[in-house]
Amino acid sequence: MGAYYTGEYRNIFKEFGYKEEEIQKKIDQAYQTIFYGPDDERFYHEIGDDMAYFEDTGNHDARTEGMSYGMMMCVQYDWKKEFDRLWKFSKTYMWMEDGENSGYFAWSVQPDGTKNSNGPAPDGEEFFAMALFFASNRWGDGEGIYNYSKEARAILHECVHKGENGGSGYPMWEPSNKLIKFVPNVDFTDPSYHLPHFYELFALWANEEDGEFWKEAAKASREYLHKACHPVTGLAPEYAHYDGSPITWDNRDRYYSDSYRVPANIGADYAWFAADEWQRECADNIQKFFCETAEGKIDRVYQIDGTILDEKALHPVAIIATNAQASLAANDTKNSRECVDLFWNTPLRKGDRRYYDNCLYLFALLALSGNYRIWK
């Protein structure tokens, strides 16, 4: 049974012989580096007395992806001040009050809050909602925008019901199949957006009338990943049709940046709910591919059938981190050990592209140490 039912979270690092004090030290150092390290290593920046943003250091903007990731990191680490700063920036500068996308968050803004786009990205909304629910359960609801559970429910209401009864805009989940969209006004998805372990909790905590929708969404996303992940390698494309077949334009059919989150999500879903035994097979396939086929070439771009391309990955540390996180679902201890040891011995990334790699790095640290938890 998953941790939701048992309250017990596996510490894979400890299982593989790492000492608890060393594990905690590694987590603490990662938080300090990302939030309060030197200017060329951190990407958390405070503004004034009560706001802050996560910078995508490769693109020099703040994204709902990173803002919501930062909030999730903070609630897991019991950093309420930093959480509230990130949330106030998000609600002040990214949330849209009017227009077709009212009620959603602009996916990208400049560090001063100027919007780069009026379009939303659903992975931000789902992480905002989950982080807010956890904040409510861990710290209690406050006033105004700090009434965390109310804010989370409002976000999810828009995600499901936007455009109904002649209203403007589009929902973030396709009503006919309960699958999350890449962006609201398209008819395809991103496999790495599928977080059934979040939807199980949304079914409990979102507006009561949407409970059944979220239960169905969790089931639909688990079934969808069976189709989107290659049956031999376990690799998923960046974007895919609702039938699981890859989107072929702009090289989005490859195992590339967005795709790396899929093994991490499979590991997290199995750790929390253990609802789909296929996830163990898929995790084994992914780790087998990287340990046996791509050995020595873990920094490349791949076709989902396992073809290794002569092109360097933009985020190689993210590949290493998420391969390790798949161990939460995997059966094959040998390959899991190899993936976890490689991750343990890989430092946080430095340089302009550090943001995405190090976000996934920190989540993997939390998950593999038993510290990526459901706050009820």
Closest CA to 189 of 236, 135, 232, 141: 236
As a whole number of angstroms, the distance between CA 349 and CA 103 comes to 35
Tabulate helix, strand, coil % of the chain (nearest 5).
Answer: 55, 10, 35
Residue 210, SS3?
helix
- Are the CB atoms for 343 and 364 separated by under 8 Å? yes
The contacts of residue 48 (CB under 8 Å, 6+ apart) are none
Which among 258, 284, 338, 357 is annotated as catalytic?
258
For the question of residue 65 being annotated catalytic, the response is yes
For the question of residue 258 being annotated catalytic, the response is yes
Which among 56, 65, 84, 276 is annotated as catalytic?
65
As a whole number of angstroms, the distance between CA 194 and CA 180 comes to 7
Say which DSSP state 91 is in. I
Residue 79, SS3?
coil
Residue 182, SS3?
coil
Closest CA to 197 of 369, 55, 32, 72: 72
Say which DSSP state 276 is in. -
Kindly list the catalytic residues. 65, 258
